[in-house]
């Protein structure tokens, strides 16, 4: 669908990740949490793709699966023309090649408290990747680490300290520095600013924007916060229950959401001042679990516009305005 | 559930087989000859050799093992060379006595440990905590045989108020309640010794799992509801720490039947521990194997039980590997 | 302790150290252990008596100016034996702990990190060893390989490592899911590198605690094995086999110097080690307050 | 002027740490009126949670100074028993982390029923109907079924609603909500906020909500208290806050809202002083764009700008003068 | 209750509790039992034809009288006609014949075949070549006649002391299967003074006086054997739970303390002496000089005086000093402690400390170094081993002590002959026949094959003396043969003779009639009574 000359850096085809569970104690492994249930999209170089959606809809899982940090259940992931994951193992690149590629693809983790090794100094956390992927001397590594930390707004003196001594915002910046230290081309950012206060959030987002410009980076940016996403990202993918329900340019989607779920989501974004008037779409109905996915459209149990077909048939992707896709029977 | 149990039982059989092979090999490798005391100096060496050959003493170990396992599978654990009786019935005789004191000390120590452990966790950092900590560490630090002897000296000799060996007063023929009291009186010292180290270890365990529970957010919630700290500890804290305590207790089950070798020996308590001691000292291979396998079976069962119980008491554990 | 200026930088290790130093029992424990180790190491400097010189004319003498802790049942100097005995007991404790830690950590780490079939096999091996009747095996192995400190260490080490392996495995399972492990993977580190530099350092504190317990346990096990007569080779003393001398009421009653010092030292040592272990656990656990 | 339901006066709370004693809350004054929603905002680590926990008597720190007057009573002087009467009954608290704030091994029903047991023992046997009614009021679908579940079986939003239900059972006069929606997505967040607002308007309950999200403030709060480095620096109505904030920090905070994007996000330069640093003048001095000499040397006093708008800033003083 | 000190209790008791330190194993058939504790049970349950009294004389017991024929090859026993089994059956000569025949049976697994081997036709029967043992003749219900192939002195004593089994019980079971008949073994039917009522393995054995015992019912109704922990004997006495205890393991002070509390002590010579064996298969130890050097270098008297606290006697030849066959002390070399002499002997053997390191070496620079196998569960032997180690160090010989449990010692030393030195006790029987331990036929040099001439002492001269002593019933003649044998072994020292520690029993002072003797503590158990 994308005919642009812009280079596509990542392509995801029908990605799936199921976690096996047993419903009852000692039962059989017959049930699965379908965290990511068949997702396809592509990302252009030097753009930011925002991913939004309810908590638990599979955003983090998707991010990790793309980077092969968890083994996907099915699908294909192509990075820069190389197949880094495929169900057919023969197609995939070799392990050593993958290790090399890891120097180009990075992830910033959601939880700033769990993603730094509490027993490593900041220096060793940040320099670990440099050591692995670049042939540099000790001093050069240190210099490089200090440089990137400063770039992320951290004092060079913090290098001898340990993670517990830093606030959440600072930790998040360290995590970002770690990912960026090895000069990646592509970064999955998993809610890098949730749970931070607004001023720190701003600092971090600015940094990421700077880097994108300076280094030509590509991001997948996972977030709850529409206020951020709408201005920060070029494109947005809205996820619901393991699937993408709407995909398109950020501005358009924010201004004019098509999918009922996106509409509800955007209407729920808090006002920016008490005077602002806003009508919220209230969702009713039961929230399905990722184990028992409803037949037909996944959103049918809560959708205000539900009709019979929604309960029977899973909607196909509809191309609207040339640059956006929506998965909903309303737009036949 | 059935499938889970079947699978676990299959694995258990492998474990039991492994245990039997290794233990059998080891005990047969060691020097020592179970038949030596059957042999009188006045017998001539030829006769002796002839006899030992008949007994299978010269067979290679693997042949001996095959013979043993062949019979063991049918439930025949052979004859004790020492007692000239079927291993099975010997173990059965001793098992009751062992269970008597081990269950008593199990109950005493679990109850004590849980109560004391919770109190110390609740009062962590105070002198009560310190005192119990020091005492429980002392409990862990005293070698069993030494503690047993000190108790005998004090209560059996200096004060002479408690019997120091056996299970009953032989010179009296008590019946009914009087008999039960008599046995209880004989149990006091060995049970005290057994309980001491168990309690001490369990206290440490309860305390730490309790402290763990205390630092959880739901404790704060409970207090925000209006429970006092103490109430919160005894309801929510206990409920959560019990999960791990219960499984630890499960893993203690094997000691209920294995008997305490040293304690039983010191107090001449005719249980599995004493039996095991005699069996080791007399190289009574069949008896050693019998006891080993019995204990191994109990350990394996206790492990399965621990897993099952863990899943039962903790609703979160629905996913079993 | 000198109060540091507020603005000075404090590392994790330093905080742990401070927490540890605040734990009076643990500090006392360290001091006692250091003293005991020093005294037994420097035994020849402290006493002129040897461990074996018997003096049948002076059997079981109570303490006097020539024998400050009296003589034992063969007329040997109890104090000298106590000093030298400490070497054995402490060595058995520490060395058997090392054996356990080396095997236990390796096996536990492999099982916990890789999971799957490796895990299953290792866990079954652990199950098998856990099913071993300790004394039966100890006696058999001692009989096969002969008595002596080295063998004692091996027996204890090889039979007790499953405890540590289990702890290590459980800990690894609980931290394995942490994002920093995944982050290391994202860096392209190999499994071995991840285990070495991220997993093991983070399970240090339970392992340290288990290790201190293992030392204590080693000392006590040596004593128990002495009770069964399979401890060290005669006439070498250990605290355990000295305590065995008190095996009857008469000795307990009249000859306190034969058992009290050895008993006291065992208890003191084990107690100190336990306190240190407890202190370490609290100090290394970032969640506990000082 | 309405009488305050809760009045915190000059509250100081400190903690003992390895590094020595640190003062976390350094003289906070907050008041919550009957039927109003007060939002407390501020930099993370400024002492918001500690202040609210101090009201519940659960802060775990040492209260160095100050008064907390609830409903006319100074509750700092109460015994634990008396405090328990208030907790969960007159004041209830909803915590940030719904995931960990519920006891993982007890069913929802039992956890809710516990409040009845504590505060209304006479009703504890037939509270089921009441609970279901309450849950339905909170828009919880399938209330009947949910009661039987364990916390881990519920989604974050549901858990947070259960927490709210727990807080509402006793008809408290004050609800304290510490970042009740931080972990939740916007749709769920909006629902929770609706509920809180509804309770406050229809049932005349007072709510004190702590949040980072100025959107949340705009959405529901009647009044705002801005906290910085252990002190309240500005206190005004929500409208005033968004239109007419006076303290430079408040202004910067509003400026930093992501909505004000112009190619870059706005942020506040510099850092909060470290916990252990001694601060003489205004703690915002180093980051403040209006800072003058006096700010460095003297701590600003509280300046009343209008009826219920007060601010702690030298500049306001100067403007006044 | 069981309180109150046994020494002062005033009420008469109808129960005597005899304590032992190891549990009986329940093999209550005297022909196949093999531990001391089982033998004690058998001693009160069964009766033998003759028995030893406290003076060491052999007197009739179940037999009314015994007669030896002119040619000393036939013995006739007349049984008491009032003897009955505990189940009421009469004891007859058939039972005696059955007992003897069972021992000669090819399937017999016990250790006493040697006692009947010399009966006429026994070998043929043993090998399955005869239906019956020709030499055993039941004359009538009460009379049995036993004919021997040749004169064999020990047999007289040994057969006389055999406990008789009831044919109607054991006759139905093939001899080869006796050892597996747990029921019969645990519930013996004998004709002795007490019948067993209950056996609790690991704990106790209870007996009740047999009312129709042929020498009159025992004076005390109940007898109990109780297993106790030797280390807590004092506590057992104090709580009144035992009446008689073995106190050899206690210190002298402890024993005196018991005496002071009103208990009585009885001491009598042991039938076991402690020694350290030299492995004569070892080249160095084959040198008599070195062996004698050991004897001189170790202060055996001091060991006896201090480690055993003087409660025993030095032994200088492998015989019991209390036995009638023991040579005159004056004719034996007492090997008085003399380190100089020891060093001289070592020098004579070619070992001398030339390099001044305190240890002797031979011309090739080889040191004298031996390992000493010692059992872990015997405190006294361990102490003695350490003293010997120290004493030998003083003359320049290095000894390393190898401790192991008793069964491992037996395996290593007796079965596999793989040792230099070992500590052990030599248990002797009533008849002083040295044959089982010292005849060259009792040597085994094959690994795994047990031989009770453990040290492998091979001397045709002494073999001849042993045979000579066994071939006559004349005590004087035997005595002179054995004395000669004793002197020879005193000179050759195939083992270092140490001491014979007395048997000591402490008992309730109210207990009367308790006059134990070396070989039979229970010969008059029917007369024991607590007043
Ligand atoms: N290791 C796992 N095992 C089983 N289920 C898992 C696992 N990890 C995630 N899940 C499930 O997969 C689903 C998606 O989880 P994921 O973390 O990707 O959600 P998310 O969209 O990132 O949510 P949030 O916004 O809260 O971060 C959830 O239902 C979660 O419970
Ligand atoms: N128990 C404690 N011991 C020591 N310091 C503590 C303790 N509890 C809180 N603090 C410190 O007090 C300060 C204020 O904490 P508080 O939790 O009130 O911050 P907050 O304003 O709620 O921040 P956030 O918005 O991140 O939740 C923090 O710096 C914190 O480290
Ligand atoms: Mg996520
Ligand atoms: Mg907070």
Total count of domains within chain A = 1
Enumerate the residues of chain E whose CB falls inside 8 A of the CB of residue B43: 111, 113-114
Q: With an 8 Å CB cutoff and a minimum of 3 pairs, decide whether chains E and A touch.
A: no
Q: Work out the minimum CA distance from C203 to partner chain A, whole angstroms.
A: 10
Enumerate the residues of chain C whose CB falls inside 8 A of the CB of residue D59: none
Instruction: Pick the atom of ligand 1 nearest to A110's CA.
Output: 27
Q: Give a yes or no: residue B2 inside a domain.
A: no
CA A188/CA A175 separation, integer angstroms: 12
| B130 contacts C271? CB cut-off 8 A | no
Name the interface residues of B facing A (CB cutoff 8 Å). 1, 3-5, 308, 311-312, 317-320
| C4 contacts D276? CB cut-off 8 A | no
- What is the per-residue pLDDT for A30? 65
Whether the pLDDT of residue E1 is over 50: the answer is no
Q: Give a yes or no: residue B6 inside a domain.
A: no
For residue A224, the ligand closest to its alpha carbon is 1
Shared-domain flag, residues B279 and B179: yes
Span E122-174, pLDDT tens digits: 999 988 899 899 999 999 989 999 999 888 888 888 889 899 999 999 999 99
Question: Tokens in use for E96?
Answer: 């005696």
Strand order across the E264-268 sheet: E194-200, E204-209, E222-227, E15-20, E244-246, E503-507, E264-268
Closest Cβ–Cβ partner in D16, D18, D277 for C19: D18
**Element at E274 (helix H, strand E):** strand E272-278
Strand order across the A218-222 sheet: A105-108, A186-190, A218-222, A48-53, A235-240, A243-249, A324-327, A317-320
Span B138-161, pLDDT tens digits: 888 888 888 999 999 999 999 989
Instruction: Pick the atom of ligand 1 nearest to A57's CA.
Output: 21
Span B293-310, pLDDT tens digits: 998 898 888 888 887 887
Enumerate the residues of chain A whose CB falls inside 8 A of the CB of residue B317: 25
For residue D47, the ligand closest to its alpha carbon is 2
Average pLDDT over every residue of E355-382: 89
Could you tell me the distance, in angstroms and rounded to a whole number, from the CA of residue D2 to the centre of ligand 3?
A: 44
Could you tell me the distance, in angstroms and rounded to a whole number, from the CA of residue B204 to the centre of ligand 2?
A: 31
Q: Give a yes or no: residue B4 inside a domain.
A: no
pLDDT band (50, 70, 90) for residue E462: very high
Shared-domain flag, residues B196 and B51: no
Q: Work out the minimum CA distance from B314 to partner chain D, whole angstroms.
A: 6
Span E300-312, pLDDT tens digits: 999 999 999 999 9
- What is the per-residue pLDDT for C227? 74
Span D120-174, pLDDT tens digits: 888 888 888 889 988 888 777 778 888 888 888 787 778 888 888 888 888 889 9
CA B209/CA B130 separation, integer angstroms: 17
CA A25/CA B318 separation, integer angstroms: 4
Residue with tokens 């309860």: B206
Shared-domain flag, residues B115 and B220: yes
Residue closest via CA to ligand 1's atom 13 equals: A35
Whether the pLDDT of residue B262 is over 60: the answer is yes
Asked if A278 has any chain B CB less than 8 Å from its own CB, the reply is no
Asked if B251 has any chain C CB less than 8 Å from its own CB, the reply is no
| B222 contacts D103? CB cut-off 8 A | yes
Q: Which domain holds residue B308?
A: 90-313
The number of angstroms, rounded, from the C-alpha of D229 to the middle of its chain's C-alpha atoms is 15
CA C62/CA A221 separation, integer angstroms: 82
What lies within 8 Å, CB to CB, of C44 at 6+ separation is: none
| D16 contacts C18? CB cut-off 8 A | no
Domain ranges of chain D: 4-90+170-317, 98-169
Domain CATH code at residue A281: 3.40.50.300
Question: Tokens in use for E301?
Answer: 């008297």
Could you tell me the distance, in angstroms and rounded to a whole number, from the CA of residue A203 to the centre of ligand 1?
A: 28
Arithmetic mean of pLDDT over chain A:
85
Q: Work out the minimum CA distance from B311 to partner chain A, whole angstroms.
A: 6
The number of angstroms, rounded, from the C-alpha of D168 to the middle of its chain's C-alpha atoms is 17
Q: With an 8 Å CB cutoff and a minimum of 3 pairs, decide whether chains E and B touch.
A: yes
- What is the per-residue pLDDT for B62? 87
Could you tell me the distance, in angstroms and rounded to a whole number, from the CA of residue D15 to the centre of ligand 2?
A: 10
Distances (CA, A) of E230 to C249, E19, E245: 10, 9, 9
CA E477/CA E475 separation, integer angstroms: 5
- What is the per-residue pLDDT for B44? 66
| D88 contacts B224? CB cut-off 8 A | yes
Closest Cβ–Cβ partner in C3, C15, C19 for D20: C3
Instruction: Pick the atom of ligand 1 nearest to A36's CA.
Output: 14
Which of the 8 DSSP states describes residue E51? E
Whether the pLDDT of residue E7 is over 60: the answer is no
Average pLDDT over every residue of E116-122: 90
Average pLDDT over every residue of E26-49: 92
Instruction: Pick the atom of ligand 2 nearest to D60's CA.
Output: 1
* Residue from E389, E393, E400, E404 to probe the interface with C (highest C Cβ count within 10 Å): E404
Instruction: Pick the atom of ligand 1 nearest to A61's CA.
Output: 18
Name the interface residues of C facing E (CB cutoff 8 Å). 52-54, 56-57, 59, 73-75, 139, 143, 146-147, 228-230, 233-235, 247-251, 254
Average pLDDT over every residue of D292-300: 87
Could you tell me the distance, in angstroms and rounded to a whole number, from the CA of residue A110 to the centre of ligand 3?
A: 6
Shared-domain flag, residues B223 and B296: yes
> Within 10 A of E9 (CB to CB), how many other CB atoms are there?
15
SS3 A120: coil
Enumerate the residues of chain A whose CB falls inside 8 A of the CB of residue D187: 54, 264-265, 268, 283
Q: Which fold is adopted by the domain D4-90+170-317? A: Rossmann fold (3.40.50)
10 Å CB burial of residue B218 (0-12, 13-18, 19+) is buried
Phi, psi of E26 (to 5 degrees): 95, 15
Q: Give a yes or no: residue A290 inside a domain.
A: yes
pLDDT band (50, 70, 90) for residue E90: very high
- What is the per-residue pLDDT for B106? 92
Question: Tokens in use for C59?
Answer: 């059997």
Q: Using 70 as the pLDDT threshold, list the residues of chain A that sit under it.
A: 1-5, 22-30, 167, 195-196
Instruction: Pick the atom of ligand 2 nearest to D51's CA.
Output: 18
Q: Which fold is adopted by the domain C37-42+74-284? A: MetI-like fold (1.10.3720)
- What is the per-residue pLDDT for D77? 85
Beta-sheet pairing, A105-108 with A186-190? parallel
| A287 contacts D45? CB cut-off 8 A | no
Could you tell me the distance, in angstroms and rounded to a whole number, from the CA of residue A198 to the centre of ligand 4?
A: 15
What lies within 8 Å, CB to CB, of E357 at 6+ separation is: none
pLDDT band (50, 70, 90) for residue B4: confident
SS3 E265: strand
- What is the per-residue pLDDT for B151? 92
Distance, first Cα to last Cα, chain A? 18
- Ligand 1 is surrounded, with C-beta below 6 A, by A 19, 33, 35, 55-61, 110, 290
Region class of B79: left (phi > 0), else alpha (psi between -120 and 50), else beta: beta
SS3 E411: helix
- What is the per-residue pLDDT for C286? 63
Could you tell me the distance, in angstroms and rounded to a whole number, from the CA of residue D49 to the centre of ligand 2?
A: 7
Q: Which domain holds residue A17?
A: 5-104+184-331
Q: Using 70 as the pLDDT threshold, list the residues of chain C that sit under it.
A: 1-12, 286-290
Ion ligand 4 — residues with CB < 5 Å: D 49
Residue closest via CA to ligand 2's atom 31 equals: D45
Q: Are E124 and E45 in contact (CB under 8 A)?
A: no
Enumerate the residues of chain B whose CB falls inside 8 A of the CB of residue A25: 1, 308, 311-312, 317-318, 320
Distances (CA, A) of B114 to A128, B218, B298, C213, D248: 46, 21, 24, 21, 56
Cα angle C139, C145, C149 (rounded to 5 degrees) comes to 85
Give the least confident one: C144-153, E95-104, E229-238. Answer: C144-153
Q: Give a yes or no: residue A318 inside a domain.
A: yes
- What is the per-residue pLDDT for E497? 95
Whether the pLDDT of residue E86 is over 70: the answer is yes
Nearest residue in chain C measured CA to CA from A175? C183
Span D61-96, pLDDT tens digits: 888 888 999 988 888 888 888 888 888 889 999 887
Q: Which of D80, C211, C273, C19 lies closest to B125, judged by CA?
A: C19
Residue closest via CA to ligand 2's atom 8 equals: D50
Strand order across the A74-79 sheet: A31-44, A8-21, A74-79, A82-86
Enumerate the residues of chain C whose CB falls inside 8 A of the CB of residue B18: 124-125, 128
Arithmetic mean of pLDDT over chain E:
90
Dihedral sign, Cα of residue D277, residue D278, residue D284, residue D290: negative
Enumerate the residues of chain C whose CB falls inside 8 A of the CB of residue E382: 234
Question: Tokens in use for B293?
Answer: 């396998």
Total count of domains within chain B = 2
Q: With an 8 Å CB cutoff and a minimum of 3 pairs, decide whether chains C and B touch.
A: yes
Q: Are E52 and E277 in contact (CB under 8 A)?
A: no
- Ligand 2 is surrounded, with C-beta below 6 A, by D 15, 17, 24, 44-50, 60, 275
Shared-domain flag, residues B157 and B277: yes
- What is the per-residue pLDDT for D51? 92
* Residue from E252, E305, E376, E421 to probe the interface with C (highest C Cβ count within 10 Å): E376
Enumerate the residues of chain E whose CB falls inside 8 A of the CB of residue B49: 448-450
Span C127-169, pLDDT tens digits: 888 888 888 888 888 777 777 788 889 888 988 899 889 889 8
Subunits with 3+ Cβ pairs within 8 Å of D are A, B, C
CA E270/CA E450 separation, integer angstroms: 25
Domain ranges of chain C: 37-42+74-284
Whether the pLDDT of residue D321 is over 60: the answer is no
């Amino acid at each position: 669908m994308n005919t642009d000359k812009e280079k596509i850096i990542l392509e995801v085809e029908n990605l799936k990740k199921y976690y096996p569970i047993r419903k009852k104690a000692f039962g059989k492994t017959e049930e699965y949490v379908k965290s990511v249930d068949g997702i396809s999209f592509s990302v252009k170089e030097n753009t930011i793709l925002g991913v939004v959606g309810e908590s638990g809809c599979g955003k983090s899982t998707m991010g990790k699966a793309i980077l092969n940090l968890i083994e996907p259940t099915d699908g294909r992931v192509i990075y820069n023309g190389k197949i880094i994951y495929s169900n057919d193992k023969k197609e995939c690149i070799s392990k050593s090649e993958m290790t090399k590629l890891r120097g180009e693809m990075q992830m910033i983790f959601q939880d700033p408290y769990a993603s730094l090794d509490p027993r490593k100094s900041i220096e060793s956390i940040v320099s670990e990747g440099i050591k692995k992927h670049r042939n540099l001397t000790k001093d050069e590594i240190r210099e490089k680490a200090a440089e990137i930390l400063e770039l992320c707004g951290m004092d060079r003196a913090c290098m001898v300290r340990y993670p517990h001594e830093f606030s959440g915002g600072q930790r998040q910046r360290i995590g970002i520095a770690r990912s960026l230290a090895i000069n990646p081309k592509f970064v999955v950012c998993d809610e890098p600013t949730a749970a931070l206060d607004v001023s720190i959030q701003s600092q971090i987002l600015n940094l990421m924007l700077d880097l994108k410009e300076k280094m030509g980076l590509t991001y997948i940016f996972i977030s709850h916060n529409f206020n951020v996403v709408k201005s920060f990202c070029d494109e947005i993918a809205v996820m619901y229950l393991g699937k993408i329900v709407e995909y398109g340019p950020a501005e358009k989607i924010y201004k004019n959401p098509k999918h009922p779920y996106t509409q509800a989501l955007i209407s729920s974004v808090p006002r920016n001042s008490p005077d602002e008037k806003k009508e919220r779409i209230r969702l009713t109905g039961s929230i399905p679990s990722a184990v028992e996915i409803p037949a037909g459209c996944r959103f049918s149990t809560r959708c205000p516009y539900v009709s019979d077909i929604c309960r029977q048939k899973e909607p196909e992707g509809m191309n609207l305005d040339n640059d956006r896709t929506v998965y909903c029977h309303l737009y036949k | 559930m059935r499938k889970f149990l079947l699978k676990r039982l299959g694995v258990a059989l492998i474990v039991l087989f492994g245990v039997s092979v290794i233990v059998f090999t080891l005990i047969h490798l060691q020097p020592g000859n179970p038949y030596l005391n059957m042999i009188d100096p006045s017998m001539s060496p030829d006769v002796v050799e002839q006899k030992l050959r008949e007994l299978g003493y010269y067979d290679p170990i693997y042949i001996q093992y095959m013979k043993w396992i062949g019979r063991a599978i049918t439930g025949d654990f052979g004859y004790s060379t020492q007692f000239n009786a079927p291993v099975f019935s010997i173990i059965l005789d001793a098992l009751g006595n062992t269970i008597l004191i081990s269950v008593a000390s199990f109950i005493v120590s679990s109850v004590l440990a849980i109560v004391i452990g919770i109190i110390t966790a609740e009062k962590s950092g105070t002198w009560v905590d310190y005192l119990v900590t020091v005492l429980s560490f002392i409990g862990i630090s005293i070698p069993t045989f030494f503690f047993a002897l000190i108790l005998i000296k004090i209560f059996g000799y200096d004060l002479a108020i408690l019997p120091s060996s056996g299970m009953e007063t032989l010179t009296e023929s008590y019946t009914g309640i009087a008999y039960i009291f008599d046995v209880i009186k004989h149990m006091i010292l060995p049970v005290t010794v057994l309980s001491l180290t168990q309690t001490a270890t369990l206290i440490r365990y309860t305390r730490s799992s309790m402290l763990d529970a205390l630092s959880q957010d739901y404790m704060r919630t409970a207090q925000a509801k209006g429970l006092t700290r103490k109430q919160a500890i005894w309801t929510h804290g206990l409920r959560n720490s019990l999960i791990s305590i219960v499984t630890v207790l499960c893993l203690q089950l094997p000691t209920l039947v294995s008997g305490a070798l040293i304690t039983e020996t010191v107090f001449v308590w005719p249980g599995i521990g004493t039996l095991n001691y005699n069996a080791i000292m007399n190289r009574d291979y069949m008896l050693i194997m019998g006891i080993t396998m019995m204990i191994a079976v109990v350990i394996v069962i206790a492990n399965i039980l621990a897993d099952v119980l863990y899943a039962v008491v903790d609703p979160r554990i629905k996913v079993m590997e | 302790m000198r109060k540091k200026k507020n603005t000075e930088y404090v590392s994790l290790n330093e905080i742990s150290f401070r927490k540890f130093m605040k734990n009076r029992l643990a500090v006392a424990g360290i001091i006692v252990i250091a003293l005991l180790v020093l005294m037994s190491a420097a035994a020849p400097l402290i006493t002129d008596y040897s461990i074996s010189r018997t003096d049948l004319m002076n059997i079981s003498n109570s303490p006097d100016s020539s024998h400050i802790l009296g003589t034992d049942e063969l007329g040997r100097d109890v104090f000298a034996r106590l000093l030298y005995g400490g070497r054995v007991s402490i060595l058995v404790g520490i060395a058997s702990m090392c054996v356990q830690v080396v095997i236990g950590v390796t096996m536990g780490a492999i099982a916990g990190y890789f999971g799957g079939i490796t895990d299953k096999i290792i866990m079954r091996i652990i199950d098998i060893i856990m099913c071993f009747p300790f004394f039966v095996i100890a006696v058999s192995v001692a009989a096969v390989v002969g008595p002596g400190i080295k063998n004692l260490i091996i027996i204890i080490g090889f039979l007790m490592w499953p405890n540590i392996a289990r702890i290590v495995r459980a800990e690894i399972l609980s931290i394995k899911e942490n994002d920093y492990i995944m982050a290391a993977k994202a860096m392209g580190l190999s499994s071995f590198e991840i285990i070495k530099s991220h997993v093991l350092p983070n399970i240090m504190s339970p392992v340290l605690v288990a290790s201190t317990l293992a030392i204590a346990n080693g000392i006590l096990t040596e004593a128990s094995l002495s009770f069964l007569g399979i401890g060290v080779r005669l006439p070498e003393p250990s605290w355990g086999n000295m305590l065995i001398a008190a095996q009857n009421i008469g000795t307990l009653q009249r000859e306190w110097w034969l058992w009290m010092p050895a008993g006291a030292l065992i208890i003191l040592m084990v107690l100190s080690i336990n306190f240190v272990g407890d202190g370490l656990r609290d100090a290394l656990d970032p969640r506990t307050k000082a | 002027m309405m009488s305050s339901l809760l009045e915190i006066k000059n509250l100081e709370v400190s903690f003992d740490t390895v590094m020595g004693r640190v003062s976390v809350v350094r003289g906070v004054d907050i008041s919550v009126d009957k039927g109003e929603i007060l939002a407390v905002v501020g930099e993370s680590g400024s002492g918001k949670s500690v202040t609210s926990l101090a009201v519940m008597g659960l802060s775990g720190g040492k209260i160095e100074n100050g008064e907390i007057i609830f409903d006319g009573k100074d509750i700092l002087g109460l015994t634990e028993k008396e405090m328990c009467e208030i907790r969960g009954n007159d004041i209830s608290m909803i915590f940030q982390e719904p995931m960990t704030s519920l006891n993982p091994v007890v069913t929802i029903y039992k956890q809710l029923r516990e409040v009845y047991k504590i505060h209304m023992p006479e009703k504890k046997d037939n509270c089921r109907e009441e609970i279901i009614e309450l849950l339905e009021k909170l828009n919880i679908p399938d209330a009947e079924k949910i009661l039987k579940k364990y916390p881990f079986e519920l989604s974050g939003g549901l858990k947070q609603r259960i927490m709210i239900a727990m807080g509402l059972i006793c008809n408290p006069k004050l609800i304290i909500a510490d970042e009740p929606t931080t972990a939740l997505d916007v749709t769920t967040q909006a629902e929770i906020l609706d509920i809180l607002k509804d309770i406050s308007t229809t049932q005349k309950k007072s709510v004190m909500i702590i949040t980072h999200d100025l959107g949340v403030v705009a959405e529901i709060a009647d009044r705002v208290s801005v906290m910085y480095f252990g002190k309240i620096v500005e206190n005004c109505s929500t409208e005033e806050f968004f239109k007419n904030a006076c303290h430079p920090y408040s202004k910067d905070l509003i400026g930093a809202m992501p909505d004000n994007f112009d190619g870059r996000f706005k942020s506040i330069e510099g850092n909060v002083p470290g916990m252990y640093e001694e601060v003489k003048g205004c703690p915002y001095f180093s980051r403040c764009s209006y800072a003058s000499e006096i700010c460095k040397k003297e701590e600003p006093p509280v300046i009343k700008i209008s009826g219920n708008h007060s601010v702690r800033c030298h500049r306001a003083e100067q403007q006044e003068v | 209750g069981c309180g109150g000190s046994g020494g002062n209790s005033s009420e008469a008791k109808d129960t005597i509790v005899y304590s032992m330190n190891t549990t009986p194993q329940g093999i209550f058939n005297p022909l196949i039992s093999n531990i001391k504790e089982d033998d004690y049970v058998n001693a009160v349950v069964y009766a033998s034809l003759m028995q030893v009294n406290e003076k060491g004389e052999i007197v009739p017991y179940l037999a009314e009288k015994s007669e030896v024929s002119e040619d000393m090859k036939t013995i006739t026993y007349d049984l008491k006609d009032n003897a009955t089994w505990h189940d009421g059956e009469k004891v007859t000569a058939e039972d005696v014949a059955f007992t003897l025949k069972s021992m000669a049976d090819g399937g017999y697994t016990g250790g006493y075949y040697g006692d009947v081997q010399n009966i006429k036709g026994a070998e043929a029967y043993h090998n399955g070549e005869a239906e019956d043992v020709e030499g055993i003749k039941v004359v009538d219900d009460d009379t049995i006649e036993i004919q021997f192939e040749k004169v064999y002195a020990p047999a007289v004593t040994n057969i006389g002391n055999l406990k008789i089994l009831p044919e109607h019980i054991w006759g139905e079971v093939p001899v080869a299967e006796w050892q597996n008949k747990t029921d019969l073994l645990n519930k013996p039917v004998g004709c002795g003074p007490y019948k067993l009522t209950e056996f609790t393995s690991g704990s106790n054995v209870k007996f009740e006086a047999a009312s129709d015992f042929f020498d009159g019912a025992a004076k005390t109704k109940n007898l109990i054997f109780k297993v106790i922990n030797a280390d807590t004997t004092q506590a057992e006495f104090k709580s009144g739970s035992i009446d008689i205890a073995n106190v050899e393991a206690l210190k002298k002070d402890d024993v005196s303390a018991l005496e002071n509390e009103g208990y009585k002590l009885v001491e009598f010579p042991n039938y076991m002496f402690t020694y350290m064996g030299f492995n004569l298969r070892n080249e160095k130890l084959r040198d008599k000089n070195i062996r004698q050097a050991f004897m001189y270098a170790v202060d055996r008297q001091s060991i006896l005086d201090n480690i055993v606290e003087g409660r025993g006697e030095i032994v200088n030849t492998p015989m019991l000093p209390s036995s009638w066959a023991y040579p005159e002390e004056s004719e034996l070399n007492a090997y008085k402690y003399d380190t100089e002499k020891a060093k001289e002997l070592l020098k004579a053997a070619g070992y001398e400390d030339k390099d001044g390191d305190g240890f002797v070496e031979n011309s090739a620079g080889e040191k004298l170094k031996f390992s000493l196998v010692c059992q872990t569960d015997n405190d006294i032997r361990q102490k003695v081993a350490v003293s010997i180690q120290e004493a030998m160090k003083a003359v320049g010989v290095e000894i390393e002590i190898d401790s192991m449990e008793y069964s491992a010692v037996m395996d290593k030393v007796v079965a596999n002959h793989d040792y230099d030195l070992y500590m052990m006790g030599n248990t002797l029987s009533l008849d002083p026949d040295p044959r089982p331990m010292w005849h060259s036929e009792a040597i085994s040099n094959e690994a795994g094959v047990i031989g009770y001439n453990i040290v492998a002492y091979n001397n045709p001269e002494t073999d001849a003396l042993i045979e000579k002593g066994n071939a006559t019933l004349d005590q004087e003649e035997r005595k002179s043969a054995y004395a000669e044998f004793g002197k020879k072994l005193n000179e050759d020292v195939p083992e270092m003779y140490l001491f014979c520690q007395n048997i000591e029993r402490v008992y309730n002072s109210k207990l009367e009639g308790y006059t134990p003797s070396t070989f039979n503590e229970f010969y008059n158990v029917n007369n024991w009574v607590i007043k």
